[in-house]
């Protein structure tokens, strides 16, 4: 199953073949279609039988922090206090290469166990944290956008860089890792958020972007009211939080802004003009009590959108669980903001956002997000029978829509029967490696 267009624009955008086969060679899709049509033409090919399951493009997590993996589920605080109490002390450890390597491997295992094959990842302030996650992703042939966070103020001294040290480190990492031939790695210039970067640092971040066209920019934006008030005080010359990034020329089609919970009317124009992507993080927003984003309004305005788990503020690596949370945010918003006519998140829209929609938002639609010939063979295979409850609910389902909705509301890593990266089955759940044909 996949999408060839945005289902909100084209209701026939979803493709599904009941007994389908995907033919993979050299890490790419060679053909996809009904097994009855394709199977007779395949000789000397290993066939992996996934009948009864649903195969789709691997999930895309558009915002996640790997150094926060070990502090997921830390109790009791909202954003700024949570950063001070839990996040910064944990991130301090990532200046140690061996320590960072251990977590980087565990982190990629966990992504793959959850069917996520592409992620946009924040490191810590230490350049070695970015180096380590790139190296680990490279060994697995994964597509990854990552960078070390830049932060030169308002964080503990031991975690502060300087505008120049962050610039120099990022320039070296871009040289070493960004879109090198034969890799699927992309560098993101990563000022953590406007509150922790001085104007001098944002200027140098923009300079990196100018000097290296094609690098990503990855930051946080408009997550929490206290954060927003603080940032506005720190940058009184800018007309809004989003305008700070705009004024410093950090917004473009390769900019990923995590959150966008509390937006201002002017923001839609800025997002539309620059093509920046908003990575919505529903699990994190509910965990930190940040607020309820307005997904229908952002969709109507044509804003480039993707979904992020935002682990460790998000409470699951699972994009299925994160979609369940996105659904609940749209439901809550209808009630809390008295918007009875607003729609709850549609099933197609949900799965689109974590596959082709996410790929488009990141500019990867030529490589991933669809099951079309020539695309990279990154898949997730979902099992609608994975748990007794899923199996029961699925047995009562009368349509693919219902089966998919059950997977998204009841599923998690247990529903991921297999994950493939460039056609290779990932042995992350103790399962056997597979062959080159995937059914």
E strand map for 213-363: 216-221, 255-259, 277-280, 304-307
Give the helix ranges, DSSP H, for 77-156: 79-82, 88-91, 97-113, 127-140
188 binds, among Zn ion, ligand GUN, none (CB under 5 to 8 A by kind): none
- Which one, 83 or 205, has the nearer CB to ligand GUN? 83
Number of residues this chain uses to bind Zn ion (CB under 5 A): 2
Task: Check if the beta carbon of residue 124 is closer than 8 Å to that of residue 88.
Answer: no
Q: Does 87 bind ligand GUN (CB under 6 A)?
A: yes
- Among positions 152, 161, 294, 310, the unique one binding Zn ion when judged by CB under 5 A: 310
Q: Which does 223 bind (CB under 5 to 8 A by kind): Zn ion, ligand GUN, none?
A: ligand GUN
Closer of 65 and 333 to ligand GUN (Cβ): 65
Candidates 31-39, 79-87, 125-133, 301-309: pick the segment binding ligand GUN (CB under 6 A).
Answer: 79-87
| 70-102 residues labelled b (16+ CB within 10 A) or e (exposed) | ebbebeeebbeebbeebbbebbbebbeeeebbe
Residues in binding contact with ligand GUN, number by CB under 6 A: 11
For the chain, give me the number of helices (H) and strands (E)? 17, 19
Exactly one of 14, 184, 220, 370 binds ligand GUN (CB under 6 A); that residue is 220
Q: Check binding of 61 to Zn ion (CB under 5 A).
A: no
Question: Pick from Zn ion, ligand GUN, none: which does 192 bind, CB < 5 to 8 A by kind?
Answer: ligand GUN
Q: Which of 128, 313, 323, 356 binds ligand GUN (CB under 6 A)?
A: 313
Q: Of these partners, ligand GUN, Zn ion, none, which one is at the site of residue 186 (CB under 5 to 8 Å by kind)?
A: none
Biggest CA–CA distance in the chain, Å, is 68
Task: Using alpha carbons, list the distances in angstroms from residue 370 to 28, 378, 388, 403.
Answer: 11, 9, 30, 20
Q: Does 310 bind ligand GUN (CB under 6 A)?
A: yes
Partner from Zn ion, ligand GUN, none contacting 216, C-beta within 5 to 8 A by type: none
Q: Which position among 192, 209, 262, 403 is part of the footprint of ligand GUN (CB under 6 A)?
A: 192
Confirm or reject binding of residue 65 to ligand GUN (CB under 6 A).
yes
The verdict on 325 binding ligand GUN (CB under 6 A) reads: no
Residue 193 binds: one of ligand GUN, Zn ion, none (C-beta under 5 to 8 A by kind) = ligand GUN
Shorter beta-carbon distance to ligand GUN: residue 186 or 192 = 192
Please report, for residues 23, 103, 110, the alpha-carbon distance to residue 417 in angstroms, rounded to integers and kept in the order given: 18, 24, 14
CA nearest 308: which of 375, 357, 273, 364? 357
Residues ≥6 apart with Cβ < 8 Å to 39: 21, 47
The secondary structure element, H or E, covering residue 293 is none
Helix (H, G, I), strand (E, B) or coil at 213: coil
Task: Please report whether residue 393 would count as binding ligand GUN according to CB under 6 A.
Answer: no
Closest separation between CB of residue 231 and Zn ion, Å? 15
Q: How far is the CB of 105 from Zn ion (least distance, A)?
A: 21
Output the CA angle 127-129-134, nearest 5 degrees.
100
CB of 298 to ligand GUN, least distance (A): 18
**What are the residue ranges of helices labelled H in 67-224?**
79-82, 88-91, 97-113, 127-140, 163-177, 199-211
Q: Which lies closer to ligand GUN via its Cβ, residue 216 or residue 405?
A: 216
Q: Is 219 within 8 Å of 245 (Cβ atoms)?
A: yes
What are phi and psi for residue 103, nearest 5 degrees? -70, -35
- The residues that bridge with 363 in the sheet, in sequence order, are none
293 near ligand GUN (CB under 6 A): no
Q: Name the site residues for ligand GUN (rule: CB under 6 A).
A: 65, 79, 83, 87, 192-193, 220, 223, 284, 310, 313
Interacting residues toward Zn ion by CB under 5 A: 258, 310
């Amino acid at each position: 199953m996949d999408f060839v267009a945005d289902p909100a624009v084209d209701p026939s955008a979803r493709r599904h073949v009941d007994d389908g086969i995907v033919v993979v060679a050299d890490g790419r899709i060679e053909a996809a279609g009904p097994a009855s049509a394709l199977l007779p033409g395949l000789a000397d090919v290993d066939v992996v039988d996934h009948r009864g399951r649903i195969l789709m493009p691997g999930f895309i997590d558009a915002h996640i922090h790997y150094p926060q993996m070990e502090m997921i589920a830390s109790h009791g605080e909202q954003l700024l206090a949570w950063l001070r109490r839990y996040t910064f002390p944990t991130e301090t450890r990532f200046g140690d290469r061996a320590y960072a390597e251990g977590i980087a491997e565990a982190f990629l295992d966990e992504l793959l166990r959850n069917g996520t094959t592409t992620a946009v990842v924040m490191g810590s302030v230490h350049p070695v944290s970015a180096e380590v996650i790139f190296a680990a992703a490279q060994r697995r042939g994964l597509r990854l956008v990552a960078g070390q966070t830049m932060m030169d103020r308002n964080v503990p001294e031991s975690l502060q860089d300087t505008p120049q040290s962050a610039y120099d480190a990022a320039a070296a990492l871009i040289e070493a890792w960004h879109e090198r031939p034969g890799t699927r790695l992309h560098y993101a210039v990563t000022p953590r958020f406007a509150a922790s970067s001085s104007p001098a640092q944002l200027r140098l971040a923009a300079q990196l972007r100018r000097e290296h066209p094609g690098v990503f920019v990855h930051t946080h934006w408009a997550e929490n009211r206290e954060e927003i008030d603080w940032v506005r005080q720190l940058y009184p010359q800018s007309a809004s939080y989003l305008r700070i990034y705009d004024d410093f020329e950090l917004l473009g089609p390769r900019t990923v802004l995590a959150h966008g919970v509390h937006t201002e009317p002017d923001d839609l124009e800025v997002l539309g003009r620059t093509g920046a992507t908003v990575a919505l993080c529903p699990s994190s927003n509910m965990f930190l009590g940040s607020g309820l984003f307005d997904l229908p309004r952002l969709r109507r305005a044509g804003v480039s959108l993707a979904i992020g788990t935002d682990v460790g503020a998000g409470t699951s690596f699972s994009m299925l669980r994160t979609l369940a949370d996105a659904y609940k945010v749209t439901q809550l918003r209808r009630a809390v903001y008295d918007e009875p006519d607003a729609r709850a998140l549609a099933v197609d829209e949900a799965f689109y956002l974590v596959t082709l929609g996410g790929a488009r938002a990141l500019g990867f639609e030529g490589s991933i997000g669809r099951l079309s010939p020539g695309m990279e063979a990154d898949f997730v295979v979902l099992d609608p029978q994975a748990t007794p409850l899923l199996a029961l609910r699925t047995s009562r389902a009368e349509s693919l829509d219902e089966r998919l909705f059950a997977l998204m509301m009841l599923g998690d890593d247990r529903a991921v029967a297999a994950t493939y990266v460039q056609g290779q089955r990932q042995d992350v759940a103790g399962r056997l490696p597979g062959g080159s044909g995937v059914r």
